[in-house]
A and B are shown apart, each in its own frame.
Chain A
Amino acid sequence: MGLIITPAQAATTTTTSTEASHAKGGFPPFQTDTFASQLVSFAIAFVLLYWIVSKLALPRVGGIIAARQGAIDGDLAEAQRLKNESDAALKAYETELATARANAQAIGSEIRDKLTKQADLERKQLEDRLAAKLADADKSIATTRAAAMGNVRSIATEAAAAIVHRLSGVTADVQAVKSAIDTTLKA
């Protein structure tokens, strides 16, 4: 770049040589007699700036940023903690609800079982009683029937003897008639 500039500069130095007399000619960035002064002041300025930046400015700004990050992280952690707490509370509530529901179901089924058992028991008792009554009734029917059947036989024997007597005039043998009646009834 300097090479491109030099012709223009060379043209202007001729017109401004009186003003630039102290500069000893040449393109200012290439005037070697200014180098030592610039190097010394640059060294001082740079070391000073480096010291200020590294010892004072950056630790302070970094501290501010770190403190803010810490505050944000702390707040986020606090929010997370509160969220976990509410989640735990919700879970506890749900567990409690489930337990209560299960309890209610258990109580309900227990009562249902008890009632069913009681009903079964009562029905059985009733059935037993009814069966006993039925048996009694059967027995009395059988007795009555047997009695009736006995009566039927004696009536039949007498009637048969009378019929035989009337028809043949012979007094029928009672024993024969009885056996004949029994055979007939059995048939």
Chain B
Amino acid sequence: MASDPTHQFEIHKLFSLGHIGGQEIAFTNSSAYMLAAVGVVSLLMLGGSAGKQLIPSRFQSLAELSYEFIADTVRSNAGEQGMKFFPLVFTLFMFIITANMIGIIPYTFTVTSHLIVTLSLALIVFITMIVYGFYKNGLKFFRLFVPSGIPIYILPLIVFIEVLSFFSRPISHSVRLFANILAGHITLKVFAGLVTMVGAMGFVGWIGAIIPLGLTVALTALEVLVAFLQAYVFAILTCIYLNDAIHPGH
């Protein structure tokens, strides 16, 4: 049954790559779409910059626009020092937005609809933040948990909240992306399924199917917005978290 809304998230093994500790490592449909995203981003950035024109072509404009968009985001959220993380933020943003956009195409698989992937993305940021924070600031990195100008009697509570919010960062960071993409795709699938279900009821059904069909089209447009917005939100949060690692004092 194609109308099962979770069918689109299933992982299929395409071929086996070997075993690690008794666990089979397979090349799956997810792997293929990850590599497809890598290919699309590489094509955009390398193909777009191949001409090296002073007056850019449309293709080159696209590559430059992506570059400057993320560069501005990093610069305005993490400062000039944050620019050392520009390749990381750029990779994250481009990978997510490309995976999201590919996923909107019917019959494709959406890499970012799997929590394990979004959690990996969030953990890359989280671990980078911690490692760089301690490397750059040493023990002063703990000042992140102690906002200045707080009266001493509520400080323990504030520190507790700060620590809690710090460790919930990778969770909210990853679940936000995962849940948005997952929910959007399920909604799309449900409404698209309604088109075939209602349409199967003869002539009256065809008329009735116009409503879910229109909704599906509108939702697809919304999903394009969500695909961009979630990638952008992920990138901005990455910049904010990395900024905390660069400047731990509030």
A residues sitting closer than 8 Å to B (CB atoms) are 1-2, 5, 8-9, 12, 15-16, 19-20, 22-23, 27-31, 33-46, 48-50, 52-54, 56-58, 60-65, 67-68, 71
Contacts and interface: CB of A to CB of B under 8 A. Distances in A.
A38 B116 contact: yes
B60 interface: yes
A19 B1 contact: yes
Contacts of A9: 5-6
Contacts of B186: 5, 8
Interface residues of B, number: 60
B175 interface: yes
9 contacts: A2-B179, A20-B4, A27-B6, A30-B115, A35-B116, A41-B34, A49-B94, A50-B91, A65-B67
Given A20-B10, A23-B10, A61-B63, A56 B25 contact: no
B4 A16 contact: yes
Given A46-B120, A61-B49, 19 more contacts: A5-B186, A8-B186, A12-B1, A15-B4, A23-B10, A29-B178, A34-B28, A36-B23, A39-B120, A42-B117, A45-B35, A52-B46, A53-B90, A57-B42, A57-B46, A61-B63, A63-B52, A64-B53, A67-B54
Which 4 residue pairs are nearest across A and B when measured between Cβ atoms?
A: A41-B31, A57-B45, A54-B87, A1-B179
Contact of A53 (B25, B34, B91): B91
Contacts of A43: 120
B9 interface: yes
A19 B41 CA distance: 34
Nearest to B37: A45
Contact of B46 (A37, A45, A56, A65): A56
Contacts of A61: 45, 48-49, 63-64, 67
B181 to A, nearest CB: 10
B64 A45 contact: no
B225 interface: no
Interface string B32-50: 0011011001100110110
Contacts of A56: 45-46
B115 A45 contact: no
Given A54-B91, A60-B46, A37 B34 contact: no
A36 B124 contact: no
B41 A64 contact: no
Interface of B: 1, 4-7, 9-13, 17, 20, 23-28, 30-31, 34-35, 37-38, 41-42, 45-46, 48-49, 52-54, 56, 60, 63-64, 67-68, 86-88, 90-91, 94-95, 113-117, 120-121, 124, 175, 178-179, 182-183, 186
B235 to A, nearest CB: 13
Given A1-B179, A34-B28, A40-B25, A53 B6 contact: no
B21 to A, nearest CB: 9
A60 B60 CA distance: 11
A163 to B, nearest CB: 137
A36 B64 CA distance: 36
B134 to A, nearest CB: 22
B28 A1 contact: no
A11 to B, nearest CB: 10
Contacts of A29: 9, 113-116, 178, 182
Contact of B114 (A38, A58, A68, A71): A38
Given A1-B179, A53-B45, A60-B46, A39 B30 contact: no
B87 A16 contact: no
Contacts of B95: 45-46, 49
Contacts of B13: 37
